Amino acid sequence: MELVSRLAREPWTDRPASVHPVLGAIARAAHDHCSPAGRRALLPLAPSFLGTARPGFDQSARLVALCVSTALTAAELTSDERTRLAMAHQIAMHLLTGQDEPAGAARWWLPALGRFGWSEPFYRNFVATEHAAEAVAVTARVGDDVGLRGLVKQCLAVSGAAGVELLGDRLHG
């Protein structure tokens, strides 16, 4: 993300304003769980993160749903992890479809913060970033660098990032 901040001509940070917060959390988690070679393989994806920061529940919920679905199918989970990830998935699906009541504490904070217009930023910047990062960490336990890079590329594609396949496949297999 520091490279992305430089490409965006922003101050040096691992949380550039031009990157969607959930995508940034996914990238940081993948980076943290990759080998040094895996980290180098993520570098060509950096330009694809530019300009992905858009408000709205949709993008955040889609990213969480993708990461959590991957974790639930790819890893052996503790019962606590399974419970947390299932709840994260249910909240994301509620936000995408409007069906079912949101799970856990979201049942209260979504409407309460919504009265002030704060529920979407709270979800995007805090809740969804934590859910996605945990899902990537769980996936990393049984995955490898190629799998984590693939998940990052899928997340970029879900976000509508331009040139994901072009950069990722042409520059770094």
pLDDT digits (tens, 9 = 90+) for 33-81: 999 999 999 999 999 999 999 999 999 999 999 999 999 997 689 999 9
pLDDT value, residue 138 = 94
Query: Which helix H or strand E contains 165, and what residues bound it?
Result: helix 164-172
Q: What is the mean pLDDT of residues 121-146?
A: 95
Kindly give the interhelix angle for 128-142 and 79-97, rounded to the nearest 10 degrees: 130
pTM: 0.89
Q: What is the mean pLDDT of residues 111-139?
A: 96
Contact between 16 and 1 (Cβ < 8 Å) = yes
pLDDT value, residue 8 = 85
Query: Phi/psi at 145 (nearest 5 deg)?
Result: -60, -40
pLDDT value, residue 163 = 53
Band (pLDDT 50/70/90 cuts) for residue 3 is confident
pLDDT value, residue 100 = 86
Q: How many domains does the chain have?
A: 1
* Domain with 46 in it: 2-172
